[in-house]
Amino acid sequence: MKTFITLALLLGAMPVLADDADAEKNPAIAGRLADDEIPTSDEEYRKRLTPEQFEIARKKGTERAFTGKYWNTKTPGTYRCICCGEPLFASGQKFESGCGWPSFYAPIDAKRDNVKGKAIAEHVDRSLAGLPGFGIRTEVTCRRCGAHLGHVFNDGPPPTGLRYCINSASITLDPR
């Protein structure tokens, strides 16, 4: 029994240690970076990001549905860019879309007269246009550092009707 409790305590402490190590390697996990601290090359990003984060956020990859860290998270807080720490989404704007990726109906800075806000940039994505069922999509990126986040679709809930389908590997959560 004593061994079990000791093992449980050690295992319970491991994520904290891993998070501290992650924040040491990538300062964007700890908070918003100053403009002059944002990496400017792939080499710098490779040093800070995991291989999966780099492939998704910097090379426009996509994680498999239902595998990302935040797809089913209900923790209140703020979701920030994994590359520069910019606040992007609030947990109150997150909803269960059934798509397997974290989904939000608006960015963190959305206003009644500007539901898309300024934190997120949109780009035409023709990468899957030739495949049946895909067509042209709208890619969303962090406006500050250009990190690929995912895509936005016009099938979300009120009040915006938008569904920001975001890769977990492109964001980090600051719990409230």
Residues tagged active-site: 165
19: left (phi > 0), else alpha (psi -120 to 50), else beta? Answer: alpha
- Using alpha carbons, list the distances in angstroms from residue 63 to 44, 52, 69, 97, 106: 22, 8, 10, 16, 21
CA dihedral of residues 23, 120, 106, 46 (deg, nearest 10) = -30
Which residues lie across from 106 on neighbouring strands?
none
- Bridge partner list, 104: 94, 164
